[in-house]
């Protein structure tokens, strides 16, 4: 089957649903950057041949000291994420949701031996046009996060998601997060906002790293949604007023319970840092404070728990109205 201008690179055998398959990879001498694969097998007693152009052969990386690996590993640090304008995504589900949201993948690292799940194998064709490298498990371990290893890690370009880019329905439900620093809390709130049907999440003020690996994982990839953006506190307050939304802020010392707030016609739910609460910027006449009833010695809940209660109370009220 090889032509006079072709060189056999590899011949592999295996089975797929009981059918014997062989993959014959050829490189044409007159096509410097192209490789061709013939998939040969017997299915239903017929000889099946499929011809694929698989493009450039991926780089193979076996050293943890490889430059690309070292640069990717630096992205564990927030300062490097800001400097490079890139961040790591580890996990098949999270990578898939990033792709669904239009996140641009800069490069991908794949350890084929670890891509054992159906979801991992189905993801790989979606990375075909990226700068992909085949790596060993030891190399992948240097850039993956935690003990979980799905066999794929990508480096993505940090998206710019601005307040003015939000597309909201009439009477939207908007969440505002000010000064939250714990990635796990931010991710949990984003996941809950997605589940409760919150129309947008605005991360207001500095100090929040949206693309920290812990945030990405805790959010189950919902952080990549186009309805999540960042803004200054002043910009956020101005936009909420422009949208004519009631602003409901969580405060442990508020006189009103959260159940007394009216979410029927849309609202902005504002949540602050657990240790310091909301800044004085929110001490405005058109900002209504609400609290949760606390029966013990603690004066507040974890901010992600508070967010879940308010989001679903808003959902309950809005369902009754509609």
**Domain harbouring 89, CATH code:** 3.30.1330.30
Question: Could you say which of 157, 187, 220 is where a domain stops?
Answer: 157
List the beta strands (DSSP E) in 77-236.
Answer: 86-90, 105-110, 131-135, 152-157, 173-178, 200-204, 228-231
The reply to whether 302 and 169 lie within a common domain is yes
130 in a structural domain: yes
pLDDT tens digits for range 164-184: 999 999 999 999 999 998 999
Question: Could you say which of 107, 132, 157 is where a domain stops?
Answer: 157
**Domain harbouring 198, CATH code:** 3.40.1280.10
The reply to whether 239 and 258 lie within a common domain is yes
The reply to whether 12 and 77 lie within a common domain is no
Res. 34: pLDDT tops 60: no
Residue scoring higher pLDDT (265 or 22)? 265
289 in a structural domain: yes
The reply to whether 170 and 87 lie within a common domain is no
Measured distance CA(130)–CA(106) in Å, rounded? 7
Res. 97: pLDDT tops 90: yes
Res. 116: pLDDT tops 50: yes
pLDDT confidence of residue 181: 86
The reply to whether 169 and 312 lie within a common domain is yes
21 in a structural domain: yes
The pLDDT confidence band at residue 35, using thresholds 50, 70 and 90, is very low
pLDDT confidence of residue 316: 96
Res. 4: pLDDT tops 60: no
The pLDDT confidence band at residue 128, using thresholds 50, 70 and 90, is confident
Average pLDDT over residues 65-80: 96
pLDDT confidence of residue 300: 85
Strand 19-28, strand 6-16: pairing: antiparallel
The reply to whether 127 and 235 lie within a common domain is no
Res. 31: pLDDT tops 80: no
Average pLDDT over residues 67-71: 97
1 in a structural domain: no
Res. 261: pLDDT tops 70: yes
pLDDT tens digits for range 39-49: 434 333 333 33
Average pLDDT over residues 137-159: 91
Q: Can you tell me whether residue 252 is helix, strand or coil?
A: coil
How many structural domains compose the chain?
3
The reply to whether 142 and 286 lie within a common domain is no
The reply to whether 109 and 193 lie within a common domain is no
Crossing angle of helices 303-321/183-196, nearest 10°? Answer: 10
The reply to whether 153 and 167 lie within a common domain is no
The reply to whether 106 and 244 lie within a common domain is no
The reply to whether 116 and 246 lie within a common domain is no
pLDDT tens digits for range 48-61: 333 333 445 689 99
The reply to whether 126 and 232 lie within a common domain is no
What is the domain extent for residue 37? 6-53
Measured distance CA(322)–CA(141) in Å, rounded? 50
187 in a structural domain: yes
pLDDT confidence of residue 56: 53
């Amino acid at each position: 089957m090889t032509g006079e201008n072709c060189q056999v690179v590899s011949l592999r055998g295996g089975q797929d649903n009981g059918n014997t398959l062989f993959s014959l990879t050829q490189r044409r001498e007159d096509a410097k950057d192209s490789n061709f694969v013939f998939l040969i097998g017997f299915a239903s007693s017929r000889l099946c041949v499929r011809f694929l152009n698989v493009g450039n052969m991926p780089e193979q990386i076996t050293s943890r000291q490889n430059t690309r690996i070292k640069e990717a590993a630096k992205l564990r640090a927030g300062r490097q994420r800001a400097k490079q304008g890139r961040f790591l995504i580890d996990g098949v589900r999270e990578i898939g949701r990033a792709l669904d949201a239009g996140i641009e993948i800069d490069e991908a690292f794949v350890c084929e031996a670890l891509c054992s799940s159906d979801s991992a194998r189905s993801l790989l064709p979606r990375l075909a046009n990226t700068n992909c490298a085949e790596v060993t498990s030891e190399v992948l371990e240097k850039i993956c996060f935690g003990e979980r290893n799905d066999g794929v890690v990508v480096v993505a370009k940090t998206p710019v998601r601005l307040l003015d880019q939000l597309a909201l329905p009439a009477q939207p439900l908007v969440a505002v997060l000010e000064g939250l620093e714990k990635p796990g809390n931010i991710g949990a709130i984003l996941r809950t906002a997605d589940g409760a049907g919150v129309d947008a999440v605005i991360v207001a003020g500095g100090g929040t790293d949206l693309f920290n690996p812990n945030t990405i994982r805790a959010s189950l990839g919902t952080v990549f949604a186009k309805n999540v953006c960042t803004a200054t506190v002043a910009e956020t307050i101005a936009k909420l007023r422009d949208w004519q939304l009631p602003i409901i802020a969580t405060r442990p010392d508020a006189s009103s319970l959260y159940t007394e707030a009216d979410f029927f016609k849309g609202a902005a739910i504002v949540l602050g840092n657990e240790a310091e609460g909301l800044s004085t910027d929110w001490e405005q006449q058109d900002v209504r404070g609400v609290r949760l009833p606390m029966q013990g010695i603690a004066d507040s809940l974890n901010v992600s728990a508070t967010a879940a209660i308010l989001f679903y109370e808003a959902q309950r009220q809005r369902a009754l109205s509609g």
